[in-house]
Structure 1
């Protein structure tokens, strides 16, 4: 059976080969060896976590920082910067401004998470270095209303953000272009 693509629909093909050459790697490592600091655009685009969460007035910056780390642990994507996770929890801040019950739920949830982290690891949740240790703590609270509220908000806050879609390999809606069958149905490389 022969299939054809519509005139305006182009299929994207992902190259699965590494793009770093041996010569390029050696050139970059040579700069590091002589003490030259290389500032990449990605480094410039990633503000410190404290700067990202400073605008959280109702929840407070410390609670927001913990929620960002928690967000990264619940939906881990190494390619995404903290900025996208901060954007994903911003609706929680907005809800906390307008609803005392939500604010208390989130603040008490973070306080309880930090207490469990201190008891088990001697430091607050956001300061635990190993992701596996943080995930262990999250598994103990995954049935709580706090965890469910944060996870539920993250699903839409993170994955409904059109800016994040290309970073995850999602090309957006395809129905108006003939569907996915002929337009990259099988080209997601992160699964």
Structure 2
């Protein structure tokens, strides 16, 4: 006869270890979409994306503000193996919006200026040049209640995750209703259940 506490004994409930697998990288307070996961793309495309933000033209906001916004976007929704070009595409509309709306330009310019000032006080360099992710995240947590942070974080949800080029990298096949729905298109093709 097996011991009553033996998990393989009849009538004994199996208890699964439910340790959370998400870390801060996957869930920045208020930014739960970071939990979508880390994607995998070829290393060659990562090398090609290096300094994309530096080459991107931010005519109305300026290159320094553009670099800060791209670095901020990557820190808010971190996907280590996602090319910088996708983050640049997500923040590039701010430049056009700044040309049309002086309020948006002021919000972004003042927000970046404040973030850079905080980074210089704490780390001695502007935000985009802060070396460690933990230091940048601490700076972002300091400003997360500001209208600047809320705007950037909120706009990135659509700017980044509505990019159809990224959907395959995240495993999302797109809308299914026009193709007959999910029932006949992979609804039950999960292998982990």
Task: Establish whether TM, by shorter chain, passes 0.5.
Answer: yes
Equivalence for 2:103: 101
Tell me how many residue pairs correspond in the alignment.
149
Q: Which moved more, 1:104-113 or 1:44-53?
A: 44-53
3-state secondary structure, aligned to 2:156: helix
Q: Deviations over 1:44-80 (max 9, x none)?
A: 6325234442x11110010000000000001111221
Equivalence for 1:177: 179
Higher RCO (Cα < 8 Å, 6 or more apart): 1
Query: 1:52, 1:86 within 8 Å by CA — same for their partners in 2?
Result: no
Q: 1:44 & 1:116 partners in 2: Cα distance?
A: 30
Q: 1:44 & 1:126 partners in 2: Cα distance?
A: 19
> Cα RMSD (Å) of the superposition?
2.2
Equivalence for 1:58: 60
Equivalence for 1:148: 150
Q: 1:159 & 1:44 partners in 2: Cα distance?
A: 22
- Residue correspondence of structure 1 range 37-186 to structure 2 within 5 A: 41-43=44-46, 45-53=48-56, 55-181=57-183, 183-184=185-186
3-state secondary structure, aligned to 2:173: coil
> Offset of 1:188 from its aligned partner?
10
Gaps of 5+ in 1: 1-39
* TM-score when normalising by structure 1: 0.70
3-state secondary structure, aligned to 2:137: helix
Equivalence for 1:5: none
Q: 2:46 & 2:148 partners in 1: Cα distance?
A: 33
User: Taking structure 1 as reference, are residues 180 and 131 closer, same or farther at Cα in structure 2, changes over 3 Å only?
Assistant: farther
3-state secondary structure, aligned to 1:118: helix
Q: 1:67 & 1:168 partners in 2: Cα distance?
A: 23
